[in-house]
Structure 1
Amino acid sequence: MSFFSKMFGSKGAESSSNGAASKEARSETITHLKEFVRGHQGCEAFIEPPTRVTQTTMVIVADTGEWTRRRVPDPATARKVAKQLGVPAFDVNLSGYPSRMREWNEKQRKQR
């Protein structure tokens, strides 16, 4: 069983209808997150709850404030992925976003 299969599991009929495309997307997500963490120091994961228009997402923020966001099946899976990546995970509803993320966003806006 692959790392991704262990983390995201099978959803029965849902995963059989999505087939290889779903597995490929999941693999790309894990690869992206691993590369981001490997290329940035001081990373932390912030788990965002699902809304009416988006499913659960995980934001990984580096110590510079640079960040990346990816969809995950649920908060429990997000915590498992964060643990596997070796980064602490926080519930964004409880902790909020780090100020370094807002500062990085503002700096990017000014550079445009």
Structure 2
Amino acid sequence: MRRPARDGLRTGSTSVRASDGHDIAHLTDFVTTRRGVEGFVEPRTAVSDVTLLLVAHDGEWTRRRVPSVQWAHTFANKHQVPSYDAAVVGIPQRMRDFNRRKKAGGI
């Protein structure tokens, strides 16, 4: 039987860092300094814990680990940010457009 990694969870042979206060502070800063933010809750995978993807009106985005799916939706509700299950609705087109502009040097 495998034991949890010291700094997070162990999934197979991969250690996953748990969320911490820095992640939560970053998410809070993002939602309070951008407009039109929506949250996309991404489920745990073999290589990543639950994450909250925040996408602003212009497609700027950030992603951080969070304690649970429920925590992510509660966080979004507290900050009046709509939240969705990313596995159901996918990732918004404006985020892909933002990444394309950034890669092309337009941002």
TM-score for both structures, normalised by structure 1: 0.74
Greater strand share, structure number: 2
Matched, 1:65 2:59: yes
Q: What is the match of residue 44 of structure 1? A: 38
The residue matched to 1:47 in structure 2 has which SS? strand
Greater helix share, structure number: 1
Percentage identity across paired residues of the two chains? 38
Runs of 4+ in 1 over 2 A off after TM superposition: none
TM-score for both structures, normalised by structure 2: 0.78
Output the amino acid matched with 2:43: P
Output the amino acid matched with 1:97: I
Q: What is the match of residue 72 of structure 2? A: 78
5+ long unaligned stretches in structure 1: 1-13
The residue matched to 1:70 in structure 2 has which SS? strand
CA distance in 2, matches of 1:59, 1:69: 4
